[in-house]
């Protein structure tokens, strides 16, 4: 059971990190485009954003389930606390990026592109740090 959960957890993480980089490249390109080309990139981002909500939920569900399988006497290491901290920052940055994207679609305010870029970078850096601390928590 634990192996299946770990496989699902790692699949969700691989999907999330790949999507985050794709989104970052999309934002960088879209900020310099206009008209139909920009509209197509915004549409792609909106679709990927909704898919990302499910992937982030899968990371939390499988991560918490894996945590539940750990023996109680093992306790919670400081690496695990760091992993959880960056899982939270990843989720907060994702939520704020989704809200900012919604505002941009509603108001057409393109001055929010730098904020989007910062938030998506926050998602990606948090994911990389969470991976480092997860490996340290298990093998460190
Ligand atoms: C959302 C809350 C999360 C919880 C509660 C959680 C919990 C866990 C637990 C308990 C394990 C250890 C499984 C074992 O003993 O073999 C694990 C493994 C792992 N987690 Fe998470 N995780 C979370 C989020 C994340 C995030 C956001 C990432 C990275 C983007 C991540 C990356 C990993 C990796 C790479 C492993 C495998 C480590 C290894 O086997 O070397 N986790 N996670």
Question: For the ranges 3-7, 73-77, 79-83, 109-113, which has the lowest average pLDDT?
Answer: 73-77
Give the confidence band of 74 by pLDDT, cuts at 50, 70, 90.
confident
CA–centroid distance, residue 68 to ligand 1 (Å): 12
CA of 127, closest atom in ligand 1: 30
Supply the range of the domain harboring residue 132: 2-139
Say yes or no: CB of residue 93 within 6 Å of ligand 1.
no
- Both tokens of 55, joined, read 């992937």
**What's residue 1's pLDDT?**
86
Q: How far is CA 57 from the centre of its chain?
A: 10
Unique residue bearing structure tokens 């192996």: 3
Question: For the ranges 20-24, 82-86, 90-94, 106-110, which has the lowest average pLDDT?
Answer: 106-110
Quote the number of domains for the chain: 1
Q: Is the pTM for the entire model greater than 0.75? A: yes
């Amino acid at each position: 059971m634990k192996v299946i959960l770990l496989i699902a957890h790692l699949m969700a993480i691989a999907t999330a990190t790949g999507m985050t980089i794709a989104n970052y490249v999309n934002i960088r390109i879209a900020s310099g485009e206009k008209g139909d080309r920009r509209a197509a990139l915004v549409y792609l981002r909106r679709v990927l954003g909704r898919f990302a909500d499910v992937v982030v939920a899968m990371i939390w569900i499988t991560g918490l389930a894996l945590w539940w399988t750990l023996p109680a006497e093992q306790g919670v290491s400081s690496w695990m606390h760091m992993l959880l901290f960056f899982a939270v920052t990843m989720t907060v940055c994702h939520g704020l990026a989704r809200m900012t994207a919604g505002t941009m679609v509603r108001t057409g305010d393109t001055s929010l592109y730098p904020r989007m870029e910062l938030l998506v970078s926050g998602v990606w850096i948090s994911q990389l740090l969470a991976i480092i601390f997860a490996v340290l928590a298990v093998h460190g």
